[in-house]
Structure 1
Amino acid sequence: MTRWDAETAVVGLGTWGAAAVWRLASRGVDVVGLERFTPGHALGSSHGGSRLLRVARPEHPGLVPLARRSRELWEELADAGRGNRAGRECVFSACGGLVIGPENGRVAGGTLRAARTHGVPVRTFTASALRFRYPRHTGIPRHHMGVWEPSAGVVRPEPALRATLALAQRAGARTVTDSRVTRVEPIPGGVRLHLAHHCLTARQVVLAAGAWLPTLFPGLSLQTVRAPLSWFRELEADSGFGPESFPSFRRELDDGRILWGGGDRDGHGVGLGLYDAMAAVKPSDPEDTDRSVVAEDWSDLSRLLPAKVPGLETVPARVAVITRTRAADGLYVLGRPGGDPRVIVAGGAGLHGLAQAPGIGEAVADLVTGTPSAAPLDFLSPDRFG
C-alpha cells in the first residue's frame, strides 16, 4: 500500500501555483508546493511591473465570473496580508482601467458588450472625449471609442506572490523551493514525482509550471514564447504620464495590434508593450536562460510612440524579458487531461492571466476537492483542442 507524501502536490509556485496552494490549504487539504527556482524569479512570467485586472473580459463570457472572484480574493489577500492601506496598495490597487478601440472591435467593443451582458458598470467615451480626457493618447480615429471600467485594478506580481505564499504557509501548506520535478509518473491511485535526488508521491498533482508545463506534460496545445516588457522615460518631467492621467489601458489599433501599458507608478518609467505583435515575441525554449536584450525587443513599439503616445523617449530606459505560455485560442488550459483523476493542468496564462490567479487557484481547489464550481469552466478544458 502506497504511503502518500501529500494529498496534493502543486508543481510550480508562480502566481497560479501559489494561488492553488493557498486556496487548497485554506480548505484544510494536505498540500505541498514545489518550485524549481526561488519564488519570484525572473525566468517565468510572475514578475515585472504590474498587470491590469479587468472584470468585463471580452474574450469569453465564462471569464467574467472568474475575474469577479479573482478581484474579491485579491482584496481579501491584500487585507489579510498587510492589514493596512499601504500594504493593500502594494498588492492590488482598485484604480480602474481603460480600453480603447473600434466600436465593433474585440477590445473596446467587446468590453462594452461583456459589461452590458454581465452588469459590470462602465463609462464610455467618444474619440473626441478621449482625446480631451486622456491627451497623452493621440492618433485616435473617429470611429474608435473608450470604455472606462471602475472595477478594474492593478496587481503587482512580486508583492502579490509573496503575500499569497505567506497566507498559504499560514494555512498549513508546505513549500519546497530549488527542487526541480523532472518527470510525472502516474501510479495506481496517484502520481510519483521524480526530483533530482528523490521521489515524492501524492494522490493528485496540479501542474502549474508556466513555461515548463509543456515539457512536464507533453501534448497540451500550448506554445512557450519569449516576450519583452519595456519602460520609457518622459521627455519632460511631470508631463502627464502619472497613473491618474495615463491609467492602465489596452488599446486596439486599426491594424489589429494591441498597445498596452500604464503610467509611471514607481519611478521606473512608463510601462508599454505590444501584445503578441512584436518581432521579439517568438517561440522559445524555457531552458534557454539567455535573457539578453536586443533592439528587436523594443523597435516595433518605439516606432509607434510619436504618433500614438508622444512625449516619451523612444529608446526604453529598461527592458525585461519574460517567458510565458499561450493556448491556440488565447484562453487558458485548466482541467484534467483525458479525465485523469490524478492530474490537473493549469497554464496558458499569457501575459494577462496573472491577474486571474486567485480565481484560478480557487477553481483548482474545487477540482481537487470535487466541489462544484460557482461558474462552469468547461470552456478551459485541456481536451478542447482534441
Structure 2
Amino acid sequence: MTRWDAETAVVGLGAWGAAALWRLASRGVDVVGLDRYTVGHALGSSHGGSRMLRLARPDHPGLVPLARRSRELWEQLADEGRDMAPGPESLFTAGGGLAIGPEDGRVAGGTLRAAREHGVPVRTFTASALRFRYPRHTGVPRRHIGVWEPSAGVVRPEPALRAMLAAAKRAGARVTTDSRITRVEPIPGGVRLHTPHSSLTARQVVLAAGAWLPALLPGLPLQTVRMPLTWFRELEADSGFDAESFPSFRRELDDGRILWGNGAQDGQDVSLGLYDGVGEGKPFDPEDTDRSVTAEDWSDLARLLPAKVPGLETVPARVAVSTRTYAPDGLYVLGRPDADRRVVVAGGAGVHGFAQAPGIGEAIADLTTNTPSPMPLAHLSPDRFS
C-alpha cells in the first residue's frame, strides 16, 4: 500500500503555484509546494516590479470572473498581511487603468465590449479628449479611443509572491525549494514525483511550472518566449510621469503591436514594454540561464518613445529579462488533461497571468477538492487542443 507524502503536491512556486498553495492550504488540504530554484527567483515570469490587473478583460469573457475574484483575494491577502505585520509592502494599488486603440480593435474595443457584457464601469474618451487628459500619450490617431477602467490597478509581483507563500505556510503548507522535478510518474491512486536524488508521492499533483511545464507534460502546445522588461527615466523631474498622470495602460498601435506600461511609483522609473502578439517573440529555452541583455532587447521600443511617449530618455535605465509561455489561442491552460483525476495542469499565463493568480489558485483548489467552481473553466481545458 502506497504511503502518501502529501495529499496534493504543487510543482512550481511562481505566481500560479504560490496562489494554488495558498488557496489549498486555506481549505485545510495537506499540501506541499516544490520549486527547482529559490522562491522569488528571476528566471521565470513572476518578477518585474508591476503587473496590471483589469476586470474588463478583452481576451475572453470567461476571464472576467477570474479577474473579479483575483481582485477580492489580493485585497484579502493585503488585509491578512497587515494583521500579521503592520505596514507591509504594497501588494495592489487600485489606481485605474487605460486602454487605447481603435474602437473595433482588440485592446480598447475589446475592453469596451467586455465592460458592457459584464457590467464593469468604464469611461470612454475621444482621441482629442484623451490627449488633453493624458498629455504624455501623443500621436494617438483621430479614430482611436481611450477606455478608462477605475477598478483596474497594479499588482507588485515580488511582495505579492512573498505574501502568498507566507499565507500558505501560516495555513499549514510545506515548501521545498531547490528541488527539481525531473519526471511525473502516474501510479495507482496518485503520482510519484522524481527528483535527481529522491522521489515523493501524492494523491494529486498541480503542475504550475511555467516555462518548464512542457518538459513535465509533453504534448502541451505551449511556447516560451523571451520578454524584456524595461524602465526609463524622465528627461526632467516632475514632468507628468507619476502614476496618477500616467496610469497603467495598454495601447494598440497602427501596426498591431501593443505598447504597455505604467508611471513611476514606489521609487521605480517608468515601466514600458512592447508586445507583438500571442506567441510572437524570440523563442527561449528555459534551461538557458543566461539572462544577459543587448540593445536588441529594447531598441524597437526606444525608437517609438519620441513620437508616442515623449519626455523620457531613449536609453533605458534598467533592463531585465523575463519569460512568457503561451498557448496557441492566447488563453490559459487550466484543468485535468484527459480527465486524469491525479493531475491538474496550470500554464500559458502569457503577459497577463500574474495579476489573475489568486483567482487561478482558487480555481485550482476547486478542481483538486472536487468543489463546483463559480468561475467558468471549460474554455481553459488542456484537452481543447486535441
Q: 1:278: Cα distance to partner?
A: 12
2:80 corresponds to: 80
| Paired letter, 2:160 | A
Q: Secondary structure at the match of 2:383?
A: coil
1:180 touches 1:195 (CA, 8 Å); kept in 2?
Answer: yes
Report matched runs for 1:9-24 at 5 Å: 9-24=9-24
Structure 2 CA distance for partners of 1:360 and 1:181, relative to 1, 3 Å: same
User: d(CA) in 1 for partners of 2:81 and 2:89?
Assistant: 11
Distance 1:37 1:279 in 2: 26
CA distance in 2, matches of 1:85, 1:99: 36
Deviations 1:10-53, CA, capped at 9 Å, x for gaps: 00000100000000011111000001111110100001110000
Given that 1:11 and 1:209 are in contact with CA atoms closer than 8 Å, whether structure 2 keeps it comes out as: yes
The correspondence of residues 182-201 of structure 1 with structure 2, limited to 5 A, is 182-201=182-201
Tell whether 2:258 aligns with 1:268: no
1:267, CA displacement in angstroms? 2.8
SS at match of 2:8: strand
Aligned counterparts of 2:94 and 2:259: Cα–Cα separation in 1: 21
1:86 to 1:135, Cα distance in 2 relative to 1, 3 A: farther
Matched, 1:156 2:143: no
- Note the aligned Cα RMSD (angstroms): 1.6
Tell me the TM-score normalised to structure 2 length. 0.98
Q: Percent identity?
A: 81
- The amino acid across from 1:242 in the alignment is D
Following TM superposition, the consecutive aligned residue runs of length 4 or more in structure 1 with deviations greater than 4 angstroms are 84-89, 277-280
Deviation at 1:98, TM superposition (A): 0.7
Question: CA shift at 1:86, angstroms?
Answer: 8.0
- Deviation per residue, 1:316-335 (Å, 9 max, x gap): 01000012211111110000
1:180 aligned partner: 180
SS for the counterpart of 2:384 is: coil
1:280 and 1:296 in contact (8 A); partners too: no
Rounded Cα–Cα distance in structure 2 between residues aligned with 1:120 and 1:345: 30
Offset, 1:350: 1.1
Task: Indicate how the Cα distance of structure 1 residues 152 and 87 shifts in structure 2: closer, same or farther if over 3 A, else same.
Answer: farther
Q: 1:286-305 alignment to 2 at 5 Å?
A: 286-305=286-305
Alignment of 1:1-386 (within 5 A): 1-83=1-83, 87=87, 90-276=90-276, 281-386=281-386
Asked if structure 1 preserves the Cα contact closer than 8 Å seen for 2:34 and 2:179, the reply is yes
Q: C-alpha distance in 2, partners of 1:278/1:296?
A: 20
- Partner-residue secondary structure (3-state), 1:384: helix
Q: Which amino acid aligns with 1:46?
A: S
Q: Give me the whole-angstrom Cα distance separating, in 2, the residues matched to 1:85 and 1:254.
A: 47
Distance 1:88 1:111, change over 3 A: farther
Deviation, 1:385, is: 1.0
Q: Distance in 2 between matches of 1:6 and 1:275?
A: 40
Could you say if the C-alpha distance between residues 300 and 103 of structure 1 is closer, same or farther in structure 2, counting changes exceeding 3 Å?
Answer: same
Quick one: which amino acid aligns to residue 16 of structure 2?
W
**Cα offset for 1:89?**
6.3
Displacement of 1:279 in angstroms is: 12
- Contact 2:256–2:276 (8 Å) recurs in 1: no
CA contact (8 A) 1:278 1:301 kept: no
Letter in 1 for 2:231: W
- Shift of residue 255, structure 1, vs aligned partner: 1.0
Cα distance in structure 2, aligned partners of 1:74 and 1:328: 29
Residues of 1 paired with 2:258 and 2:83: CA distance? Answer: 36
Separation in structure 1 between the aligned mates of residue 279 and residue 264 of structure 2, nearest angstrom: 25
Q: Any stretches of 5+ residues in structure 2 without a counterpart?
A: none
1:111 maps to amino acid:
T
User: Normalized against structure 1, the TM-score is what?
Assistant: 0.98
Greater CA drift, 202-211 or 260-269: 260-269
2 CA distance for matches of 1:385 and 1:231?
Answer: 37
Deviations 1:278-300 (A, max 9, x none): 99931110000111101110011
Rounded to whole Å, the distance in 2 between the matches of 1:337 and 1:236 is 53
Distance 1:278 1:341, change over 3 A: closer
- The residue type paired with residue 158 of structure 1 is E
Q: Distance in 1 between matches of 2:278 and 2:123?
A: 31
